[in-house]
Amino acid sequence: MEIIVFYLFAAIAVIAALGVVGLRNPVYAALCLAVVFVSFAGLYVLLSAPFIAVAQVMIYAGAILILFVFVIMLLSPPVDQGEGALKWQKPLALGFVGALAVQLVLVLALAVLPSARGSLTPEVIAQRGDVQVVGAALFSDYLLPFEMTSLLLLVAIVGVIVLAKKR
Amino acid sequence: MPDATTLYLILPEITLAVFGMVILAVDLIWRERSRAALAWLTVLGFVIALATALLGWGWNMALFAQMYVVDTFAIFFKLLAAIAGILVTLVSLDYLRDRTPYRGEFLALFTFAVLAMMMMASSASLLMIYLSIEFLSYMSYLLTGFLREDKKSNEAAIKYFLYGAITSALMLYGLSLLYGISGSLNFADITATFAARNDVPTRIVALVSTALVIAGLGFKISLVPFHQWAPDTYEGAPTPVTAFLSVGPKAVGFAVLLRVLLTALPAFKNEWIALLTVISVLTMTLGNLVALRQKNVKRLLAYSSIAQAGYILIGLVSVNLNGASPFSGLNGVLIYLFAYLFTNLGAFTCVIAIENATGAVEIDDYKGLVKRAPFIAALFVIFFLSLAGIPPTAGFIGKFFVFGAALREGFLVLAAIGVINSVISVFYYFSVVRAAFFEAGKDTAPIRLAPPITFSLVVSAALVLVMAVYPEPFFNLAAWSMGMFGVAK
Amino acid sequence: MIPLPFYLVIAAALFCVGLYGALARRNAIAILIGIELMLNAVNLNLVAFWRYIKPASPTMDLAGQVFALFVVTLAAAEAAIGLALVIAIYRSRDTVNVEDVDLMKW
């Protein structure tokens, strides 16, 4: 049962990802991206990480994607027109990515990664409540990166407004 | 939970965070009246950060669940960051006045960029490395594109951003593999994992992730082949930002690279040395050859700074911390970075002074400079001598230690290529000097210097000369800063 | 339980597709979308590793999940900055095509 759900989400994610890259109209690409985000959320649930799954849907699908769609609508950029001056760009990109893909698959097939679990089994996590565990970690062990990220978001907002606001 | 010692040791970071937000708030409340005062407030913040960074000297503490290390190596780079912050703020005063109404925001973003540099220097966890590098990158993108009405500034920023985002995603994938192999984000655990597991699959995964991490950091340092953004970004960015980008991210990029390679991946020393040797040769040679045909001074300095990264990499390749030789490679990198900071900032300050007065950045516009601004012309000579590595300047000391380490390690060919490249570089540096001294220009109006710019020019030039004439304190500074690596070995 | 390499291969595939999108497209927004795909793939890697591997120490119990959360947050900031730059460049030149942004030679 589990494996069927996995294949389902994985297949949807890969097909939608190909759509993201293959479709020329940016609005369609953005919509395919939404499908990728949601199917990834499904995979996170399978991995017993419901908090990440929810964050994925809320932040990626809810915030980032909406931002993309807004900007696409705002600028209504022309549909990407096939070949331009950079004819060598696509073959080059394909070659580079192909090499990387072969390498990664080899690595992952060869690597005998340890798969023993630590002290937090899914059962323990389910008992203590996933959000609670992650939240406690964020405010104790990961306090510094947490505060740093909040600063980063604040200044990023200021900078983005300076760049994008109307005269 | 953080205790008093922790807070004491991260005082410089706290200072800059507070000052950054105070600058934003003051700018919001007073708007017009406060503009000049804000710059001085920023400088004050950097001075306090500099002083508080020194308070941590001699400590060697891992804070926040081992994620954040305060040691003399980190403090060395925090000092560099604060000094770069002070000098760049001073030279940006006049430049920004006519170009953007958002000077308060500019200064705040800049303060946070320096904060991010400090955090990069102290990061000892995959998570902190990723966060601090991204922090610095985001601030750099925003500062590069800050002149929103200026087409070149826009273009510089989007190119910088797209390159940076792709390389940082590559690096992030590498970091995730390192986490997957070791089950930890901390460097100590990663080293222990690789010490315990030496099978072929583990090594392959580690090598792929090392290469990906070098790609991400190579972008910050502008190593070939991750350098393509640099010329356009340097040319198009506001010149004070260019000055900052050419020294700040580069210096802390080297700090992170050193820390990752020497404390997390020492098991793969032979492999990364081979990879970085090739990159070093490519970076020096390409940077210098392309610099020969540049006509725009900012672009010329961009290619020059690519080449300089190649020289510094020689020191990293020749790292050998065993024995008591004065050429450990690592001290060469630190001394070189220190010399390079003042030299390159000084050279860019000259460019900014001329750009403020005339708006010109082409080499042809520098003709007859010696008549219009003898002081700037003379300093240009000092900074270019230092960049080319000719005594008696700081650049010579840096090259001496870097090439010396290569010779000690038996990298004769590498050292020879470095020396040949230094000779090539003399030609293009000299082309600017020749235009300034020996060719007659159309314009003859004298160029006036603002006091803050004069101050930072004098400081940079003085340090470039002092480092060459009386280098001992700087040797000691570099030697102390290596303490951590001596223990970690 | 589904073996770990299944997840890793899916992540690697998505990463490569995203990288191809980022390298092969000329529309700045399309490049950004490709980068988002790459970041998502890394997140899947992180969460899968978190679920399957033995943490080196108790403080690393949640490392993968927390790392993934930070990546999501920074991806949002990155998208905002990238799109702001796109808007700025569109205002000044009426294009989002990287190829047309060529005032300076690449």
Strand B61-63, strand B68-70: pairing: antiparallel
Residue B362's DSSP bridge partners are B296
Report the C-alpha gap between B37 and A110 in whole angstroms: 61
Inside any domain, residue B384: yes
pLDDT higher than 90, residue B281 = yes
Inside any domain, residue C44: yes
pLDDT higher than 50, residue B487 = no
pLDDT recorded at residue A43: 94
Inside any domain, residue B250: no
pLDDT recorded at residue B114: 97
Q: Where are the beta strands (DSSP E) in B59-173?
A: 61-63, 68-70
Q: What is the band of B488 on the pLDDT scale with cuts at 50, 70, 90?
A: very low
**Mapping DSSP to helix (H, G, I), strand (E, B) and coil, where does residue C97 land?**
strand
What is the average pLDDT across B470-487? 75
Omega cis (within 30) before B391: no
Inside any domain, residue C102: no
pLDDT recorded at residue B486: 45
pLDDT higher than 80, residue A120 = no
Report the C-alpha gap between B390 and C77 in whole angstroms: 45
Could you read off the pLDDT of B348-358 as tens digits, one per residue?
A: 999 999 988 88
- Domain count within chain C: 1
Report the C-alpha gap between B99 and B140 in whole angstroms: 18
The kind and range of the H/E element at C67 are: helix C63-93
Closest chain C residue to the Cα of B157, Cα to Cα: C85
CATH number of A1-78+139-167: 1.20.120.1200
CB-CB: which of C21, C53, C69 is closest to A52? C69
CB-CB: which of A107, A118, A163 is closest to B148? A163
Sequence-separated (6 or more) residues with CB below 8 Å from residue C34: A20, A21, C18, C19, C20, C21, C22, C23, C25
* Block residue for tokens 């950079």: A86
Contact between C15 and A104 using a beta-carbon 8 Å cutoff: yes
Report the C-alpha gap between B427 and B425 in whole angstroms: 5
pLDDT recorded at residue B357: 86
Could you read off the pLDDT of A6-65 as tens digits, one per residue?
A: 999 999 999 999 999 888 888 888 899 999 999 999 999 988 888 899 999 999 888 899
Residue B296: is it exposed, middle or buried by C-beta count within 10 angstroms (0-12/13-18/19+)? middle
Inside any domain, residue C65: yes
Could you read off the pLDDT of A4-23 as tens digits, one per residue?
A: 999 999 999 999 999 998 88
Report the C-alpha gap between B29 and B296 in whole angstroms: 40
Q: What is the band of B342 on the pLDDT scale with cuts at 50, 70, 90?
A: very high
Chains that touch A (3 or more CB pairs under 8 A): B, C
The kind and range of the H/E element at B76 are: helix B72-97
Listed residue (A60, B234, A158) closest to C84, CA to CA: A158
- Domain count within chain B: 1
pLDDT recorded at residue B256: 95
Residue burial A116-125, b: 16+ Cβ < 10 Å; e: rest:
eebebeeeeb
What own/partner pairs with CB < 8 Å and gap ≥ 24 does B350-355 have?
B350/B376, B350/B379, B350/B380, B350/B383, B350/B457, B351/B239, B351/B297, B351/B298, B351/B301, B352/B91, B352/B95, B352/B239, B352/B240, B352/B243, B352/B453, B353/B91, B353/B447, B353/B449, B353/B450, B353/B453, B353/B457, B354/B447, B355/B95, B355/B239
What is the average pLDDT across B46-63? 88
Backbone torsion region of residue B150, taken as left when φ is above 0, otherwise alpha when ψ lies between -120 and 50, otherwise beta: beta
What is the Rg, in whole angstroms, of the alpha carbon atoms belonging to chain B? 22
Chains that touch B (3 or more CB pairs under 8 A): A, C
pLDDT recorded at residue C104: 60
Inside any domain, residue C100: no
CB-based contact B177:B211 (threshold 8 Å) = no
* Block residue for tokens 């710019």: B453
Could you read off the pLDDT of B116-169 as tens digits, one per residue?
A: 999 999 999 999 999 999 999 999 999 999 998 888 898 899 999 999 999 999
The widest CA-to-CA distance across chain B, in whole angstroms, is 70
pLDDT higher than 90, residue C71 = yes
* Block residue for tokens 């900032």: B345
- CA of B220: how far to CAs of B128, B306, B329, C59, in Å? 16, 11, 21, 30
Q: Where are the beta strands (DSSP E) in B43-179?
A: 61-63, 68-70
Residues of B in contact with A140 (CB under 8 A): 1
Residue B76 CA neighbour count, 13 Å, CB half: 29
Q: DSSP letter for B101, please.
A: S
Q: Chain A 59-98, CB below 8 Å of chain C: which residues?
A: 59-60, 63-64, 67-68, 71-72, 74-75, 77, 80, 84-86, 89-90, 92-94, 96-97
ipTM at complex level: 0.94
Q: What is the band of B224 on the pLDDT scale with cuts at 50, 70, 90?
A: confident
Residue C54: is it exposed, middle or buried by C-beta count within 10 angstroms (0-12/13-18/19+)? middle
pLDDT higher than 70, residue A77 = no
Using CA atoms in the order B232, B354, B140, B247, what is the torsion angle rounded to 10 degrees?
90
Q: What is the band of A81 on the pLDDT scale with cuts at 50, 70, 90?
A: low
Domain that holds residue C21: 4-93
Highest mean pLDDT among A128-137, B172-181, B359-368: B172-181
* Block residue for tokens 């593999």: B177
User: At C65, which CATH number?
Assistant: 1.10.287.3510
Tell me the two tokens of residue B220. 């910050």
- CB of B225 within 8 Å of a chain C CB? The answer is no
Closest chain B residue to the Cα of A142, Cα to Cα: B64
Domain that holds residue B370: 269-489
Residue C78 CA neighbour count, 13 Å, CB half: 31
pLDDT recorded at residue A128: 63
Q: What is the band of B314 on the pLDDT scale with cuts at 50, 70, 90?
A: very high
pLDDT higher than 90, residue B361 = no
| Residue-by-residue DSSP string for B377-425 | HHHHHHHHHHHHT-SSSHHHHHHHHHHHHHHHTT-HHHHHHHHHHHHHH
Contact between C33 and A10 using a beta-carbon 8 Å cutoff: no
pTM for this predicted structure: 0.94
Q: DSSP letter for A64, please.
A: I
* CA–CA min distance A33, chain B (Å): 17
Inside any domain, residue B35: no
* Block residue for tokens 């020194």: B54
What is the average pLDDT across B112-119? 97
Inside any domain, residue C59: yes
pLDDT higher than 60, residue B202 = yes
Report the C-alpha gap between C106 and C57 in whole angstroms: 47
pLDDT recorded at residue A57: 92
| Residue-by-residue DSSP string for B129-152 | HHHHHHHHHHHHHHHHT--TT-HH
Residue B70's DSSP bridge partners are B61
The domain limits of chain A are: 1-78+139-167
